[in-house]
Amino acid sequence: MSDARPTLGIIGYGNMGRALALGVSGNERLNREFALAVYEKNPAAAAAAAASGIFCAQTAQDLAGDADFVLIAVKPRHVGDLLREIEPKLQKDQLLLSIAAGVSLDFLREHSKGRCPAARIMPNTPALVGRGIFGLCFGPGVPEKKQEAVRGLLKELGLLIEVDEGRMSAMTALSGSGPGYVFHFLESLAEAGVSVGLDRADAAAIALELLRGSAEMAAQSGLHPAILREQVASPAGTTIAGINLLDRGGARGLLVDAVRAAYDRSLEMEKNA
């Protein structure tokens, strides 16, 4: 791994680790700025990383010893054991990054014996296509240069929102878990299309373009969604009939409750860590 570029070492090549690694490896600028390495204990997942041309370290300790940025992308319940394993290799000029939901900076510091500064990132899987959303908060003692490098990395992969640690659970609930809600909505819209007689493939394509086109229109117009909604709901028309039914069914309240449930779960995980 000898290279003039700083190394971003990702431990865990699952859903999120893979999205980040492929987001980085597929981005020309990030390729120039970072060397990428992965350690994954599952042989099939490690083979998938290697097949994508990503350097795979032999052990978590090897990766932690060599990387400038050590990014933990394993399930929250595995973070403690992993930190105990790699902690002897960590040095103060490195930066520990964790994307684990509900794993606090205090937990990271305690289990890594404070050997290097740490930061938390709450990403989401569209990072894979450079359209992720990242909550970021730095722990104490992260040098400005390292902070800038992390900001530069994440901005290249999507939208960066810096928050204090108290807001990380909110980021987890809204944007971290968000693709799950959107995919659920997407699937449901396609089912609705089939229900009113559209061919399944057409319904899926329409639902996808509906979300993409509406999001793009909202972004380009800069208008509040309520205004955009009013513009398409003409008096006594079809759209207002559908919207009225969504309101009667409590669709908005349900969505708020879903995000709150994810938020409560994240807080609970943090408390029980």
Ligand X SMILES: NC(=O)c1ccc[n+]([C@@H]2O[C@H](COP(=O)([O-])OP(=O)(O)OC[C@H]3O[C@@H](n4cnc5c(N)ncnc54)[C@H](OP(=O)(O)O)[C@@H]3O)[C@@H](O)[C@H]2O)c1
Count of Cβ atoms closer than 10 Å to residue 235 Cβ = 5
Q: Take residue 79 and report the two structure tokens written for it.
A: 């973070």
Report which residue's Cβ sits closest to ligand X. 14
Q: Which residue has the tokens 């919207």?
A: 243
Looking at the Cβ atoms of 94 and 124, the one nearer to ligand X is 124
Count of Cβ atoms closer than 10 Å to residue 9 Cβ = 29
> What minimum distance in Å lies between the beta carbon of 87 and ligand X?
13
> What minimum distance in Å lies between the beta carbon of 174 and ligand X?
11
Looking at the Cβ atoms of 73 and 203, the one nearer to ligand X is 73
Alpha carbons 94 and 233: distance in angstroms, whole number:
54
- Would you tell me which residues interact with ligand X (CB under 6 A)? 11-17, 39-42, 45, 60, 73-76, 78, 82, 99-101, 122-125, 176
For residue 71, the surrounding DSSP H or E stretch is: strand 69-72
Q: Which residue has the tokens 């305690």?
A: 110
Alpha-helical (H) ranges within 27-75 are 28-33, 43-51, 60-66
> What minimum distance in Å lies between the beta carbon of 218 and ligand X?
23
> What minimum distance in Å lies between the beta carbon of 11 and ligand X?
5
Looking at the Cβ atoms of 89 and 193, the one nearer to ligand X is 89
Looking at the Cβ atoms of 9 and 176, the one nearer to ligand X is 176
